[in-house]
A and B are shown apart, each in its own frame.
Chain A
Amino acid sequence: GQNIDQPTEMTATEGAIVQINCTYQTSGFNGLFWYQQHAGEAPTFLSYNVLDGLEEKGRFSSFLSRSKGYSYLLLKELQMKDSASYLCAVMDSNYQLIWGAGTKLIIKP
């Protein structure tokens, strides 16, 4: 079966750095997405990786290793507004998105 694993919850301090990991086992691979979702709101797109390596976008970076079935989202200079759930999703061989359950990130002052 297809599976996406992420930690359920993480806590970090304002101004610090946090890394949210995602491991996957899917039927084929056509890219990996990270979304941010604030409570009760829609997911919003953060990043897309299809080749191995690091993609940097401001305070957020995303890394992919296809051979290891592994990605992480790195958030720097954490702000209180970064408190949200972070969803990892993999596009499989049928171009369907397979979603992880999300990681709830709690930022403390």
Chain B
Amino acid sequence: DGGITQSPKYLFRKEGQNVTLSCEQNLNHDAMYWYRQDPGQGLRLIYYSQIVNDFQKGDIAEGYSVSREKKESFPLTVTSAQKNPTAFYLCASSIPRGQGGETQYFGPGTRLLVL
């Protein structure tokens, strides 16, 4: 079955620690996205990638980093510079942006909590 997987479902971070969230898709989509969801707010874009080995900052990239070495994978690292990391993190994928109407399909999400 085609889809997007994220792991782990729950992640705990200690002070000063970097943590990496996994996102894998087998939909053959070129574009991938990372969003952050906080209570009472809309999804906010952290990073996106239109193609392998290329990615762009979204609206709230500070304290986060990504890589896109393979089409199927787009891991997100939450660094110690992100002072308020507690949130629900969602990964999504779509056909390349710029054609209009690109539906984004989401993974099940990772909930990050700070110890």
Contacts and interface: CB of A to CB of B under 8 A. Distances in A.
A97 B59 CA distance: 11
17 contacts: A4-B42, A30-B101, A31-B100, A31-B101, A33-B103, A40-B111, A41-B108, A42-B90, A42-B106, A42-B109, A48-B103, A87-B43, A95-B102, A96-B97, A97-B43, A97-B45, A99-B43
A76 B24 CA distance: 35
Interface of A: 4, 8, 30-31, 33, 40-45, 48, 50, 87, 89, 91, 95-102
Given A41-B108, A42-B109, A101 B42 contact: yes
B75 to A, nearest CB: 18
B3 to A, nearest CB: 10
Given A30-B101, A31-B100, A95-B100, A43 B42 contact: no
Contacts of A98: 42
Contacts of A50: 100-101
Given A41-B108, A42-B90, A42-B108, A30 B100 contact: yes
Given A31-B100, A96-B45, A101 B106 contact: no
A87 B42 contact: yes
Nearest to A49: B101
Which of B43, B58, B97 is the most central at the interface, judged by chain A CB atoms within 10 Å of its CB?
Answer: B43
Nearest to A35: B106
Given A42-B107, A48-B103, A101-B42, 17 more contacts: A8-B40, A30-B101, A31-B101, A33-B103, A41-B109, A42-B106, A43-B90, A44-B106, A45-B104, A48-B101, A50-B101, A95-B98, A95-B100, A98-B42, A99-B42, A101-B40, A101-B41
